[in-house]
Chains A and B, each alone.
Chain A
Amino acid sequence: MMESLLQTLLNGAATGGVYALVALGYTLIFSVLGVINFAQGALFSLGGYATYLLMGGRIGVNGAWPGLGLPVALPFTLALLVAALVTALASLLVERLAFAPLRRRGAEPLQSLITSLGAGVVLVNLLQILMGAEGYAFPAGAEALAGLPDMLILAGARIRTIQVLLLAICAGAVVLLSLWLERSRSGKALRAVAEDFTTARLLGIDSDAMVRLAFALSGVLAGLGGGLVGLSVSLTGPYFGISYGLKGLAVLVLGGLGSVPGAIAGGLLMGLAEALVPADASGWREALAFAILFAVLLLRPGGLLGRIQPDKV
Chain B
Amino acid sequence: MTSDATPLDQRQRGSLRLAALLAAAVGATALLGRSADPAAQPLPPASAPDGALTLGAVIALTGNANLYGQDQRLGIGLAERWAADRARRDPASFPRPVRLSLEDGASDEQSAIAAFQLMLRRGVVALIGPTLSQQAFAADPIAQRRGVPVVAPSNTAKGIPQIGHFISRVSAQSSVIAPLSIEEALQRDPTLRRVAVFYAQDDAYSTAEVAIFKQALTAKGLRPLSVQRTLLGQNDFQSAITAVLPQRPELVVISAQAVDGGNLIRQLRELGYRGQIVVGNGLNTPNIYPICQRWCDGVLIAQAYSPDLDTPVNRAFLALYRQSGARGAPPQITAQAWAAYQVLFEAIQRLQRRGGLQGVTLAEARRRLMTELLSGRYDTPLGPIRFTPDGEVIQGRFFVAEVRMAPGGRDGKFTLVRERSLKGVGG
Contact = CB atoms under 8 A, between A and B. Distances in A.
Interface of A: 7-8, 10-11, 14-15, 61-62, 66, 125, 128, 132-137, 142, 150-151, 157-163, 229, 232-237, 239-240, 243, 274-275, 277, 279-280, 282-283, 285-286
Nearest to B286: A134
A286 B238 CA distance: 16
B272 A279 contact: no
A234 B269 CA distance: 15
Contacts of A133: 66-67, 70
A128 B62 CA distance: 9
A279 B226 contact: yes
A200 B235 CA distance: 43
Given A133-B67, A134-B287, A282-B228, A11 B233 contact: no
A282 B262 contact: no
A134 B258 CA distance: 10
A140 to B, nearest CB: 11
A234 B290 contact: yes
- Top-10 shortest CB links A-B: A137-B290, A233-B235, A135-B290, A150-B270, A133-B66, A236-B259, A282-B229, A11-B238, A11-B239, A133-B67
A56 to B, nearest CB: 12
B240 interface: yes
Interface string B391-413: 00000000000000000011000
Interface in B90-104: none
Contacts of B70: 62, 132-134
A158 B271 contact: yes
Contacts of B230: 282
B306 interface: no
Contacts of A277: 239
A8 B239 CA distance: 7
A61 B259 CA distance: 18
Given A133-B66, A285-B231, 4 more contacts: A15-B238, A157-B242, A158-B271, A275-B239
A290 B266 CA distance: 29
A18 to B, nearest CB: 9
A234 to B, nearest CB: 5
Nearest to A161: B270
A228 B266 CA distance: 16
Contact of A283 (B202, B233, B238, B293): B202
A305 B238 CA distance: 29
Contact of B410 (A137, A162, A236, A283): A137
Given A157-B242, A160-B267, A236-B291, A61 B326 contact: yes
14 contacts: A11-B239, A15-B236, A125-B62, A133-B66, A134-B287, A137-B290, A151-B271, A160-B270, A234-B263, A236-B235, A237-B66, A279-B243, A282-B230, A282-B240
Measured as residues with beta carbon below 8 angstroms from the partner, the interface class of chain B is 35 or more
Contacts of B263: 233-234, 236
Interface in B255-299: 258-259, 262-263, 266-267, 269-272, 287-291, 293-294
Contacts of B186: none
Interface string B188-208: 000000000000011000000
B236 A135 contact: no
Contacts of B233: 243
Contacts of B238: 10-11, 14-15, 159-160, 163, 275
B119 to A, nearest CB: 23
B245 interface: yes
A282 B289 CA distance: 27
A137 B242 contact: no
Contacts of A136: 290
B265 to A, nearest CB: 12
Given A133-B67, A137-B293, A237-B64, A283 B229 contact: yes
Contacts of A283: 201-202, 229, 231
Nearest to A150: B270
A180 B291 CA distance: 36
Contacts of B327: 61
Nearest to B68: A133
Given A137-B293, A236-B235, A7 B67 contact: no
B259 A135 contact: yes
A150 B242 CA distance: 15
A14 B294 CA distance: 23
B325 interface: yes
A55 B291 CA distance: 17
Given A128-B66, A282-B229, A233 B290 contact: no
A15 B240 CA distance: 13
A66 B325 contact: yes
B239 A274 contact: yes
B239 A234 contact: no
Contacts of B294: 142
B242 A11 contact: yes
Contacts of A160: 238, 267, 270-271
B291 A158 contact: no
